[in-house]
Structure formats: structure tokens, C-alpha cells
Structure 1
């Protein structure tokens, strides 16, 4: 027992001795690592340590906004790199210790490496400040800022840590700013929205603000889809707030999704050019035009005049960027007469062979319906061809109010087209329960209700697609799953055939003809309502039509507001625009002509 007790202390001492040796070796190893690291930094990385202004920061990585493109993949709105110049007023307003230190080193080299006296240090600081003032003036010149603008910011925002000097500038210009090496002046990675089509698609696309957020039109309605999610990363910055090295990626930016429209840029440009010319030639106040695919309800073009350049945001005026085709209403006049005829035929209140006496004046209660000319007795087709108010008024009075009103409502009048476009109008229908005979009479030829150009174009799809009314879409699609039948095939075809007579020499729209294609349509010349009733000399000139009439592919509606160059009838002002747009669009789409005699005659004329 004594031997055992005597050995226990020696074993314990031996154990402690081993632990001490291990601990000592570990400490010495750590010291060696530190010494090696110190030598590495002080010998090989001494410049890094000498620059005391370097620090680690977390910065945002701007995400890319989605592209808006037409149905053929042509870019209509894209985002390109456009850095912004920022300033930290606190930092720019102070002396940059790092920059002063570098100048002191240079001064010592030039003076034999001697230690600087206090007066020499003040000389260096004075030189630094002179150079800083010169750089600030150069900065103002590069950014096209008024002289003294930067100093004003330093005074006004001296307690702030951030201010913009210039937003979304050319990347080459940003590099010139970076070369100035001004402490407190930084470059923020951002994107600028660019619209290659400019004024041609301005009303459809809209524009974004300085923060790249959609403000109007499709840029606004599809903001959630188009905008991306910014990322984050840790970086090393120098005293100039410039990133000199990435440390780690915290979250990658997620780009916005692309938006594919139903618009065909070729047809859009064609429609824009012809509408602009018509508004100019006719000295009109404004104009709007819509082209629809008669089979799918897709909007292939929608243009307005006057337009604006979305790439020049400083020049924008609110009144210019309203999309009149979607958001403004008017009384459609005679362009709705085909629906009155369709309702009467569909309900069997009339037959195509019925005759209507149109003697120029038709009393309805205490009011009078008039025609512009004395047409005598007309059959149903004649009523459409000559655009007789009296003829359609007599048809309307044959129908029950609820039924007649219901037909206009079924083709979409008084209801939003539901494209999702901001500010899209519902239009207005008269209150059915308050309608009297005269209300029915004027509704039959397009007064007492308000529609948009898009609503009128949509209604015409029911005539174009054999009685099937289509929903309308600004997004590309293969078919319209929301289409609904509102007329029988027989009625739609009968009315469409009657509408072809409008495009004859005896009709009201001979100027709407399209070489090689049968055209069906209807003119409208609607007086404008004012504060004191209808104007005697202000009109909406309208034309709505479809082609090829044998199997319609397109619907085009043209509205020109207040033509004042002498002509104001829809058949003379708007029908020629329809002809050029419809003809060009059909050829762009490769639609087969359905009028065999026209093209050979044209070719024969060109043959010597």
C-alpha cells in the first residue's frame, strides 16, 4: 500500500509535464502563424495596410428589368446599364486622410525624405484642397451641372450620407467621373429603360421613372412581372467609395420576367404612320386606331395621335400619354347601324327584303329623326349602304326595348374590354328602364351611348367571325377561350354581305376599298357633344371594317377627332386610312386575296 501511495505523485507529475509541453507547442505554433502573417502583410501587402480608408461594406446589386417584346420577338422595351453618380456630403466635405497621406509621401520623396515640418504639412493640405476644388469643377462640367452645384449640396445636405449628383448616365461618362478619384463621390450600378420604337409604341408601353418603376400603361400594369429582385454582396471599398474587390455574394439578383405582347411591330408602325399623316393632313385634334385579329381577339396594333417620345422623359406632358384608343369615349354614330340591323334580323323583326320609306324626316314623339339626303324607299341593304338614320330608327322601334338594348350589351358596349390596361374605360350605355322611343331611335344610329375605339373594334369581331364575339388581349395567344356566340352564323354573314355595299361607288366609303380583297365596313360621322348640346361644326370621323369579307382575318377601326381641313365625313377622312392600314397588314400577314379580278387588272395596267 505504501509503495502504491508513493508512486501516485510521480505519475501525476509526469502527466502534467506532457500537457505543459503540448500547450507550449500549440502556443508557439500560433505565434509562428501570426509572425508569418505579419511579415506577409507588412512586407508583401504593405500598401493595403497603409491605405487606412479601405473597409468592408454590403452593397445592393441592381436587377435587370424584363424585356417587353412584340409577338415576333422584337424588343419594344429594354434595360441597358446606366450608372448613377452619388455623393456622401459628409465625406466629400472633409479632407481625405488617405489622399493627404499619399501627397505627404510624394512631398518627402521630392525633398530628400525628410520629415515634414508643420508649415510643409499645411502646404500639402492646401495643395490637396486646391486639387479637390479643381476636380469638383471638372465633375460639374462632366455632369453638366451648374457651377457651385456640388458645394450647394454639401451645404444643404451636410448631415446626410447620400445624395444623387446625376442619374443613369452614359457608362463612358461614369468612367471619367471615377478617374477623378474624389472621396465621397461614388458610382451606383443601375439600368436605364430604352424604347427602340419610340413614339410608335409609346401609348401602349408607357415608361418608368428614375427608380425604374412603371408609371403608366403596360409598364405600370405589369410592374410586378417586369421588375426583378435586387441582390446583395460584400465588397471592399476604398476611400472614394469605389468597389476594389468582392468579398462574397450574399444574394444574387433575380431579373424580371419578359412580357410577350400580341402587338405586331410591323403593323403597329404602319398604323402609326398612316394615322399621323391623316391627323396632319386633316388638321385634326387627335386620332386613334386599333387593329384586331378577327379569329383570336389579339390586338395587333393600337396607335394614337399626338404621341410622345418615352425616351425623353423631361419633355413629357400628362395630356400626351393618355391612350385614347383604350381610355377615351365618343358617340360612335353610324358605325353601330350594322348591330341594329343584326338585332332586327336575329329576332325576326325584319326580313332582308323589307322596304323602308326614308323621306328625309321621321317624327318620333316630340322629336324628329333626319337623314342627310332624301333616299326614298330602301331595302335593308340599302339602309346600310346609304347610312339612313330613318331606316335603322324604324327597325329599332319594331323591337322590344329590352331585346334591342340587350343586343348592344351582348356585343360589349357598356362593359370593359378587360385587357388589364390602366384606365381602360367601360364606356356608357343608356339606362334601359328609362329608354323611350326616341332614345331607341337615336341609339340605333349611335347616339346616347359612349364607346372607346377598342370597344367598337371588339364588337366588330362578332360580325367578322360569324357571330362569335371575342375577348381582346394585349398578350400573344393561340386561341380565345373566352369567345362567346352572340349572333347566329346566318345573321352575321348576311349583315357582313350587306356591309360590302358600303365600299362601292354607291355607298359611303368607296375610299375604304383594298386592292385584291373584299371589304365590309361602315362609316360614321358623329357630331361632338358640348356643354350646350351638339356642336354644329365639330365631328368624330369614323370607319370600322373587316377583311377579307369572305373570311375576315382583321378588324380595323379608325377614329379622327375634329378634322378641320374641309372634309369631316368618315368616308372621306377615316376610310382612306383604313384602306392603307388594312391593305398593308393583310399583305404583311400573307393573307390570300379573295377578289380575283382586282389584281390582274392592276398588273395589266403596269404592263407596257
Structure 2
């Protein structure tokens, strides 16, 4: 017998379905409430991980200024464009547009992105104008963003290049002061939390994690005006004499502060990539030369300290002296000379005789006290200590050649420091690039002896000396020329280094300056003709810039232009007004050509 089916109850089924759905709704609402209100930490973290980002806050590097507060190195804000390769590669059709906007070849950009396809960050172009960067980002290309950075700018270009050095693209010091004081100049970047949308745009600044700290400023001892003078005159001298390279150092005598330091050839630190690596080094502290006759002032001081009578005379007849099998020659026969005459005429024989009269230990000790053979302590990266062999290794020949500047190698900064010490009454000051950062120094020579030799050196810049071209009108100038041949594996070549070291004014010394010109190839190559004029031109301007009063007042007044009465109407009508400069005075006599010594060929003054 068949069973009858129950009648279809629509109302019951709807009731059951509604109850089930209601229960599900309650469960969902309860679960949502639990997640939103009671147990929300995990999901909040997951949500933040997708939209909350910690981004760095760029900070500027400290400014470098000259002694008068003029900016020498500053940091300017720029933008860098970067991309997320994973995101960008999902839209390869936008790569040609991006390449054109960035000014990068499309194949180069494509290769760069493809090589970093597994990364989430790659720089596309760094340190560009902020407006240009924003124009690229504004195109809305997925995965392309920009960030703030700072770029170093050097307003004075190659004039200050070797002192300041430069930074790399990450704003880290690579050479010069930028490297020496990198930790001081470098700031500490900050950090903040932000919310980014799905396109990577910042829509909200959530929290400042760490404030950015700018780098600290530095005030150098360099005087921008004297630096320009030295740069201009050195460059002109190299061009005029077809020289290979050169250096100039100017020190403040009482403090040891470096007022100017220039080298040629130079480079533009704003376009450092375009320069040859070899020109980045600061030759004034890294390169050494045999100083030649500039060393004779040290020899005379050592002899006086050793007990030599200041009024002694030395017989240099007949202009040649045999030391064993080696001859020592002067440029000419100077006959019997005093110590002042030895310096004025730059006698190699006289200097050798003084050197031979001292013990090795005493002579070495004096040179070492004046800083030869050891670093000056300036703190400049890559500074050379020079070469001064131990006294025990000196034979008679070595000691004689050292007495007139061969067999010892020094940097221009070491020479300037030694002459500044002589001018500072025998007190050696550590050279410094920081204004007000001078030390106490140390006494290396009896003040009376240092003053005696300094007064003798004035004869070098007077008529009859080897460097009248170094004289500065209105000021007593002391100095010494040097012209040395360059050493090679087979002896000495016919390539020269021309030097001049001087101090001015003599009554109250303010400046010590050294000029080194490497391989002049013009008609002249003597220090008195090539380097001494650079000293004159730089000091003539520096003395006035620093308001140093003349110590030869009568001469200074005599050189001032006489007042000219205003022309009358009658003079103009009669054509009696003459607009013509007076004739230039005759140039002083040049130093005599030198005869090469077999002992140290070309031991010139």
C-alpha cells in the first residue's frame, strides 16, 4: 500500500531558513565585534604592514665656511627617483614613457629594472631638480616614486678643490676636509611613520619616530681672498713657464693657521667624475721634493746653534771643492763669504763646509726639530712625512748634500712650517685648517739665532741677491730661493723644481709662504725668476687685504702716486692734459745660471 506524501509546508521552511540565517548573522556580527573590539592587535598589525611605512627623513651635511664666514661648501635639497621593480614590471608598456621622462635610453632602463626584478627598490636617477622629479612622478607610472636627498655644492669650484675635497653621491666625504671631518659634518637622518595608499603615495603622517639632526658647521682658517690670489698667480706662473704642476702654501706665522693652499692642475669638485683621479690629491701635503738651496737657512741655524761665530767667513775659492772624488760647485766663484753672503749668493760650498763642521746627530736633530722627516700634524688625509734618513746612515757626502738641500725630501707644507717657525722666534706651531684651532707649539730654536738668520735672509730679496723679484714695496722681506734637479733611477735629470720660501714683514712677521713649481719648461727655471714673482704678487695683495702696516714706511710713501692737480679749463683747451702711465722701473738683475754639481747635478740655488 502506498504512503501518502506530506503536504508541502512553505511557511515552516521559511521560518527555519530565516532562523539559520539569523544565527549566521549573529555569529558573523559577534566574530566581527570580537575581531574589531576585543582581539584586534593581530589584524591591526597586518593592516599596518600593508599601508603603514617607516620612511627616512633626509638631513643636510654641515656647512664649511672660510675664516670670514663665507660659505665654501653647502648642501642643497634635491630629489631622487626610484622604483619598485616588481610593481613596475607589471606594466612594461610604461617603460618607454618612463625612459623618456628620465632622459635615460630605454634599453638601459629596461636592463636595470630586469636585473633587479626580485627587489623592491632601485634608484632610477639621483640628485635631480625637485621640479623635474615631481614631473616624472606625476605621470602616475605604477611603482615609480621620489625621495628627498641633499647634494653638496662648492661655490668656488676648483679654487678650493684640494682643500675641501668632495663627497660621493651618498654624501660621504672622499677627499680633503670633507673626509678629515666627515663624522663632524655628517648629520643623523630622522624617521617617521606614514600611511601610503596602493599607489605608494603618502596620505597621512602618523608619527615622528626620530627627528633629523643636521651636521655641524666648520669654520676653516682659509681666507677666501688670499686663496683666490694664490690660485690666480700660481696658474698664471704655470702658463707663463709651461710648467707641469705647482703648489702654494700661506701660513699665519703667530698661529700656524693655513690661510691659503692651492695646487695646479686642479679640478672642479662639482663635476668630480670628469676629473682624472691623479688631480684629486693635494700636492702641497702629499708630494715631496728635494728643496735645494731653501734648506741652507736651516744649515746656517744649525751651525750657529753648534757654536759657529756669526761673523765667520768661509773661503769658497775657486768656486769648486772636492769631497773625495766628488766635486761641489757654486754657480760662480763667490770668494770669501760671510754667513749672510752664503745665503745671498746661495753658495753650495759654504753650506757644505758648515754641514761638515757639525756632527751628524746635531744636524739631524735640528732638522727633525723643524719638522723634517715627520708629519706636520695638520690632520689632512694622506699627508706625507717626507724623507730624512737617520743620522747614523750619513756619510760625508750625504751630510754635505743635505746641507744644500739634496738627499732630503719635504712637502711644501713642511717647508712653510719651518720658515714660519724661524719667523716666530724659533717656535714651531702645528699647522691647522681650523680657525682658532692652533696649539701652543714648541720651542725648537733659540729666538736670537732664529732672528739672526731671518735678518740675513733679507739680503736674498735685495738687489744683488737671488730673488729681488720677491721684494714687496714698503715691507722688509726675508726669503730663500731653491732650484733643484729631479732625481731619477740613473741620477739627476735636466728637469727642475723651482722654489721660493719667504716671510713678510720682517719686523713683525705675519705671513710665511712657499711656492713650488714643478718642471718649468720655459726660458727660465731658477727659483728667483719663476717662483719668487708668485710670492711677490700674492703677498702684495695679502698684506693689504689683511691691513698689515708697512715696516719700510719711507719706501712705501715714496711709491705712493703724487697728487695731481685738477686740469683747468685752459689746460683742456690747449691740449695740455696727458693721459699716459709713467714708464715701468727697470727689472732687477736675474740670478746667474748655475753649474751642475757632479755630486748632486744641478744643485742650484
TM tier, shorter chain? Answer: 0.7 to 0.9
For 1:95-115, what per-residue CA distance to the aligned partner results, in whole angstroms no more than 9, with x for missing partners? 5xxxxxxxxxxxxxxxxxxxx
1:552 maps to which of 499, 506, 509? 509
Q: Secondary structure at the match of 1:300?
A: strand
For 1:562-603, what per-residue CA distance to the aligned partner results, in whole angstroms no more than 9, with x for missing partners? 000111000000000000111111111111111112222222
Query: What is the Cα deviation at residue 479 of structure 1?
Result: 4.7
Residue 527 of structure 1 pairs with residue 485 of structure 2: yes
Residue pairs, 1:509-524, within 5 angstroms: 509-524=467-482
Partner of 1:61: 57
- Unpaired runs of at least 5, structure 1: 1-26, 36-51, 96-128
- Range that drifts further, 239-248 or 454-463: 239-248
CA distance in 2, matches of 1:242, 1:148: 28
Residue 456 of structure 1 pairs with residue 415 of structure 2: yes
1:589 maps to which of 546, 559, 567? 546
Residue 506 of structure 1 pairs with residue 464 of structure 2: yes
2:435 maps to which of 445, 453, 476? 476
Q: Secondary structure at the match of 2:69?
A: coil
Q: Secondary structure at the match of 2:237?
A: helix
For 1:27-48, what per-residue CA distance to the aligned partner results, in whole angstroms no more than 9, with x for missing partners? 99x98xx99xxxxxxxxxxxxx
Partner of 1:576: 533
CA contact (8 A) 1:184 1:239 kept: no
CA distance in 2, matches of 1:383, 1:423: 36
Residue 78 of structure 1 pairs with residue 66 of structure 2: no
Query: What is the Cα deviation at residue 353 of structure 1?
Result: 4.2
CA contact (8 A) 1:54 1:238 kept: no
Q: Going by fraction, where is helix more abundant, 1 or 2?
A: 1
Partner of 2:576: none
Query: What is the Cα deviation at residue 86 of structure 1?
Result: 0.4
CA distance in 2, matches of 1:428, 1:140: 55
Partner of 1:416: 375
For 1:374-410, what per-residue CA distance to the aligned partner results, in whole angstroms no more than 9, with x for missing partners? 1111111111000000011111111111111111111
Residue pairs, 1:118-129, within 5 angstroms: none
1:245 maps to which of 194, 201, 204? 204
Residue pairs, 1:98-117, within 5 angstroms: none
- Range that drifts further, 250-259 or 330-339: 250-259
- Range that drifts further, 285-294 or 260-269: 260-269
CA distance in 2, matches of 1:238, 1:329: 61
CA distance in 2, matches of 1:335, 1:524: 5
Residue pairs, 1:399-414, within 5 angstroms: 399-414=358-373
CA distance in 1, matches of 2:141, 2:170: 25
CA distance in 2, matches of 1:566, 1:235: 70
TM-score of the superposed pair, with normalisation by structure 1: 0.83
TM-score of the superposed pair, with normalisation by structure 2: 0.83
Residue 329 of structure 1 pairs with residue 288 of structure 2: yes
CA distance in 1, matches of 2:515, 2:563: 31
CA contact (8 A) 1:349 1:398 kept: no
Q: 1:271 to 1:440 in 2, by over 3 A?
A: same
CA contact (8 A) 1:88 1:162 kept: yes
Partner of 2:245: 286
Partner of 1:276: 235
Partner of 1:168: 127
Query: What is the Cα deviation at residue 346 of structure 1?
Result: 2.0
CA distance in 1, matches of 2:76, 2:258: 28
2:500 maps to which of 525, 539, 543? 543
2:260 maps to which of 301, 305, 308? 301
Partner of 1:366: 325
Moved over 6 A (4+): none
Q: 1:154 to 1:343 in 2, by over 3 A?
A: closer
CA contact (8 A) 1:288 1:558 kept: yes
Partner of 2:155: 196
CA contact (8 A) 2:431 2:438 kept: no
CA distance in 2, matches of 1:557, 1:233: 53
Partner of 1:384: 343
CA contact (8 A) 1:231 1:253 kept: yes
CA distance in 1, matches of 2:286, 2:117: 47
For 1:10-59, what per-residue CA distance to the aligned partner results, in whole angstroms no more than 9, with x for missing partners? xxxxxxxxxxxxxxxxx99x98xx99xxxxxxxxxxxxxxxx99822111
Residue pairs, 1:225-236, within 5 angstroms: 225-236=184-195
CA contact (8 A) 1:263 1:300 kept: yes
CA distance in 2, matches of 1:208, 1:478: 24
1:342 maps to which of 295, 301, 306? 301
Q: Secondary structure at the match of 1:579?
A: helix
CA distance in 1, matches of 2:334, 2:73: 52
1:493 maps to which of 451, 473, 476? 451
Q: 1:464 to 1:189 in 2, by over 3 A?
A: same
Q: Secondary structure at the match of 1:244?
A: strand
1:158 maps to which of 117, 137, 143? 117
CA contact (8 A) 1:358 1:391 kept: no
Partner of 2:88: 92
For 1:483-523, what per-residue CA distance to the aligned partner results, in whole angstroms no more than 9, with x for missing partners? 11111121111111110000012000010011221100000
Q: Secondary structure at the match of 1:85?
A: strand
For 1:120-149, what per-residue CA distance to the aligned partner results, in whole angstroms no more than 9, with x for missing partners? xxxxxxxxx8xx63xx43432332201333
Q: Secondary structure at the match of 1:86?
A: strand
CA contact (8 A) 2:55 2:192 kept: yes
CA distance in 2, matches of 1:281, 1:366: 40
- Range that drifts further, 176-185 or 239-248: 239-248
Query: What is the Cα deviation at residue 478 of structure 1?
Result: 6.3
How many residues were matched structurally? 524
CA contact (8 A) 2:422 2:454 kept: yes
CA distance in 2, matches of 1:578, 1:460: 14
CA distance in 2, matches of 1:169, 1:515: 51
- Range that drifts further, 144-153 or 375-384: 144-153
Query: What is the Cα deviation at residue 607 of structure 1?
Result: 4.7
CA distance in 1, matches of 2:518, 2:165: 22
CA distance in 2, matches of 1:177, 1:317: 33
Q: Secondary structure at the match of 2:52?
A: strand
Q: Secondary structure at the match of 1:451?
A: coil
CA contact (8 A) 1:53 1:239 kept: no
Query: What is the Cα deviation at residue 352 of structure 1?
Result: 2.7
